[in-house]
Amino acid sequence: MASDAIRKVQDKLFRGGFSANQQGPQEREPALTIEIPKPLPTPNPPPKLAKQADTSPQPDTRDEQTYRQRLAQKLGGEYKGAEKHRLEEDGKREKHWKRWGPYLSDRQWATVREDYSANGDAWSHFPHEHARSRAYRWGEDGIAGISDNHQRICFALSLWNGEDPILKERLFGVTGHQGNHGEDVKELYYYLDSTPTHSYMKFLYKYPQRRYPYEELVSENQQRNREVDEYEILDTDAFDQDRYWDVFVEYAKDEDDPDNIYVRITTYNRGPDPATLHIIPQFWFPNTWSWPIEKPEMPSLAGSVRGAEDNKIGCITARHPTLGKTHLYCLPSPPPVGSSNNFEVDPDIPAVEAELLFTENNTNFSRLYGGTNETLYVKDAFHDHIIPGHRPPASESREESFFSPRIRSRTASSFGSERPDIPEAGPCTPFPPTAMFVNPEKKGTKAAAQYVFRDVPGRGGCAVVRLKITPSRLGKDPTLEDEVLFDDAVEERRQEADEFYGSLVFGPISDDLKQIMRQALGGMLWTKQYYRFIQKEWIEGDPGQPKPPPERKFIRNREWRHMHIEDILSMPDKWEYPFFAAWDTAFHCIPLAVVDPAFAKSQLDLLTREWYMKPDGQIPAYEWNFSDVNPPVHAWATFRVFKIERKLTGKEDLPFLERVFQKLLLNFTWWVNRKDQGGNNVFEGGFLGLDNIGAFNRSEPLPTGGRLRQADGTAWMAFYCLNMLNMALELAKHNPVYEDIASKFFEHFIFIADAMTYKEGDDEISLWNEHDGMYYDAIEFGPGNAMQLPVRSLVGLIPLYGTLVLEPAVLNRFPGFKKRVEWFLDNRPEVSARNMANMKGMHAGSDWSEMSLVDRLFSGWQGAEAAFGAGK
């Protein structure tokens, strides 16, 4: 039986189980363990430069007390932890601790915002092959990337193993057209840790030493059908014999300054043999100048070498019209060391110094389209400079490959009549073989620091890079010249992260579960992203660019003219879904409220603001179709976040609750007016619960004609009513006006529940099937002509969500609401009796009432067992 199999797995998961069909005394099987990506313990801190002993007296720049100890002494009994103190400072706007964070997308290519095609095929219009050469319009991406909160300047990791045809500067995956199960990232990477203010973050990327199998992953997934498993990176030989790098990226902010950011990149050679690795962190400005006719004031990057002769430090100075001036200091790195000598550095081996590279963040029209470049140096210059095989050929005789520079007709630089079946040749003007790809004057809008670590020992050999983003000058910051101070600062932020997450643990919990919780919350914090979308500019095109094809205006999102988004948003996934989805955001806010209630509240507040919500009250769904319909869970999330903050901090943010509630009144009205066509309290919608939950695409008209009356859509609206009722009663504690609104939602719920389960006359059809004990969708072709769809799925279980218990204390506290409820019960007994259960007998001395879509004993569990039990 399926239930026996489930119990067996549960036994293994939580306490170990007995072996089946075992002779003799029963013995417990080992418990099933959950493997979570953890950094391998390192016996010592990362290697540091070996310096000659200096016998002259040196000033001691280290403070004997940690920042936590000093802060605790200062705050006394009000000390709650260093990270919580930062959250308070950020909330009071005393310091902008969230200015810098992990706000880069993991994938900006092949997104709807970058799609300017005539047919709306975002996957093909801006493919991965173009991403390294073509400037983005609406955002930036990178590996383990960070930016400021307006994405004026970005930092991210790039790598080269000496084998790949391109630099590894963004995560690769197959598109919706290439994957046999749709889009899918084909990389191994892990968000390991983050605090809410991003004062400490840690990321792990596993980089193969062999040539990355780009072509193999695409071709094999394209050949597979939907009945076959996806072809993953571990199905290739990329990681065979453990020939790969563990690349850890850590960020830490100064203890008392949010604009000073330590960056430590620590790599380990997990393979059996020595190997060479290029670590190439990049620092750049998003392209904001190619789109208008009148160019804005330009930002600039400039390189220099600073410091003493024996400790030269590369410096990239960034100047931005609104961000001001800051520096990226690229410290000299110790040579690679093996694990066998405890990471001790040989003083006779010179340090590894960074070569600073500069170019412009401009499209390479010559490579992509055979056109003329705007500037001599272009976006993909670092690929050409570092990888000889990437450089354009001196002639066009070279055999075409997966990464050959060629024009794709649907991505031509001028929009006109397209011939998608006939690719054009290119480039027309190949570069001379002696071209200088990077700017020798060390200036531009995109920069990189290239560190080359040759022959890193196998079996755990280590190479480390230290950098710091700071507005401070060299000489004013001792951590730039003392690696011990640098590493101490990173370690102290990590310990403060330990302190913060330790304060969230209530009751006994195993170390593994603590780590799972911490990494899960850290992953939620890593998946913040700067999201920019201005509908007018997007749909009309840019004055400084060719005009988009006119048919593009009619593909998607035409009616969302008011949208103007430039915010940090929580993403479902920064690679597979690098765009907000309204109902996903609502669910994200529940765990986020545990670590950062202010951020969770801001997300729920934003989606109801006038630059998101349509004037008619509709909340945008997601960028593929803002007009699609997601389950109305915003009220539930809002009230849950309100209560979570109250429980954790004792604070009741009533202005937040009331502000969102008022906007949700508009959204509720939109649902009633737009998604209840018959006016009978039975609703329709699109993706209501799960993608592909129904037998039809419910975002499109039915192929059979008629109207689909949805069990889950109606249940979601009943659930919405109950949450609005709950919120109204909470607000009524402080303003009795809300008692009347609570009464409205009480009655509306009763009418929805009644319409869903019961029918009046022969012209109506119920969504409840008494024989099967389940709710089903129904198609209504006209008066008296309807049929149920007996598909047993989660559609029939979602009505379980629509439940609320009214306690006597609540009714007695609000006399106006109680009076209206009693009037309804007395005057509409046939409706109220079959949709409310009196629970007096269940609790001695109480008189509770349960509002529910289903009976208290719910015969539907029989249907649930029929649908999901007995191995079906």
Convert the pLDDT of each residue in 7-36 to its tens digit.
544 454 333 344 444 444 444 444 433 333
Separation between Cα atoms, residue 149 and residue 589, nearest integer Å = 19
Separation between Cα atoms, residue 380 and residue 373, nearest integer Å = 12
Separation between Cα atoms, residue 374 and residue 413, nearest integer Å = 13
DSSP symbol at 181:
T
Please report the pLDDT score of residue 858 as a whole number: 46
Question: Are 595 and 647 within 8 A, CB to CB?
Answer: no
Residue 649: CA count within 13 A, CB half-sphere: 18
- Which residue has 């999901």 as its token pair? 868
Write down the H helix ranges in 758-846. 808-813, 815-827, 829-833
Please report the pLDDT score of residue 782 as a whole number: 76
User: Tens digits of per-residue pLDDT, 725-735?
Assistant: 999 999 999 99
In this structure, the chain runs to a length of 872
Question: Are 359 and 376 within 8 A, CB to CB?
Answer: no
DSSP symbol at 589:
H
Please report the pLDDT score of residue 868 as a whole number: 42
- Domain extent listing, the chain: 1-33, 88-104+140-360+439-520, 675-868
* pTM over 0.75, yes/no: yes
- How many Å is the Cα radius of gyration of the chain? 30
Strand bridging mode 849-852 / 803-806: antiparallel
Q: Which residues pair with 27 in a beta bridge?
A: none
pLDDT < 50 regions, the chain: 1-3, 5-6, 8-10, 12-43, 61, 398, 405-430, 432-434, 838-844, 856-872
- Collect all residues with Cβ–Cβ distance below 8 Å to 143 and sequence separation of at least 6: 106, 156, 157, 158, 159, 168, 169, 170, 171, 189, 205, 249
Q: What are the phi and psi torsion angles at 218 (to 5°)?
A: -70, -50
Residue 223: CA count within 13 A, CB half-sphere: 7
Closest CA to 624 of 112, 182, 105: 112
Write down the H helix ranges in 92-241. 122-125, 128-131, 214-223
Please report the pLDDT score of residue 157 as a whole number: 98
Write down the H helix ranges in 45-93. 67-75, 82-91
Separation between Cα atoms, residue 627 and residue 506, nearest integer Å = 42
Separation between Cα atoms, residue 684 and residue 677, nearest integer Å = 8
- Which residue has 């450089």 as its token pair? 391
Question: Are 317 and 302 within 8 A, CB to CB?
Answer: yes
In CATH, which of 3.10.450, 1.10.287, 3.55.50, 2.70.98 is domain 88-104+140-360+439-520?
Answer: 2.70.98
Question: Are 517 and 93 within 8 A, CB to CB?
Answer: no
Which two three-digit tokens encode residue 824?
A: 């309804």
Closest CA to 280 of 165, 358, 189, 389: 358
Question: Are 154 and 284 within 8 A, CB to CB?
Answer: yes
Please report the pLDDT score of residue 432 as a whole number: 46
Alpha-carbon distance values, 576 to 172, 381, 393, 580 (Å): 11, 27, 34, 11
Which two three-digit tokens encode residue 240?
A: 């065979």
Write down the H helix ranges in 571-703. 582-595, 597-606, 634-649, 654-674
- Collect all residues with Cβ–Cβ distance below 8 Å to 426 and sequence separation of at least 6: 367, 368, 369, 370, 405, 406, 407
Strand, helix or coil at 455? strand
Q: Which residues pair with 203 in a beta bridge?
A: 191, 249
CA dihedral (822, 827, 832, 833) positive or negative: positive
DSSP string, 515-571: HHHHHHHHHHHHTEEEEEEEHHHHHH--TTSPPPPGGGGGTS-TT-TT-EEEEEEE-
Separation between Cα atoms, residue 420 and residue 435, nearest integer Å = 32
Neighbours of 599 (CB within 10 A): 23
- Collect all residues with Cβ–Cβ distance below 8 Å to 718 and sequence separation of at least 6: 749, 752, 753, 756, 799, 802, 853
Separation between Cα atoms, residue 275 and residue 674, nearest integer Å = 62
- H/E element, 863: helix 860-868
Separation between Cα atoms, residue 175 and residue 110, nearest integer Å = 8
Q: Which residues pair with 230 in a beta bridge?
A: none
Q: To 5 degrees, how large is the angle CA 848–CA 853–CA 858? A: 85
Cα 196 versus chain centre, distance: 14
**53-64 core/surface letters (b: 16 or more CB in 10 A; e: else):** eeeeeeeeeeee
Expressed in angstroms, the distance from the first to the final Cα of the chain is: 10
- Collect all residues with Cβ–Cβ distance below 8 Å to 555 and sequence separation of at least 6: 119, 120
Question: Are 135 and 290 within 8 A, CB to CB?
Answer: yes
Strand, helix or coil at 714? helix
Please report the pLDDT score of residue 401 as a whole number: 52
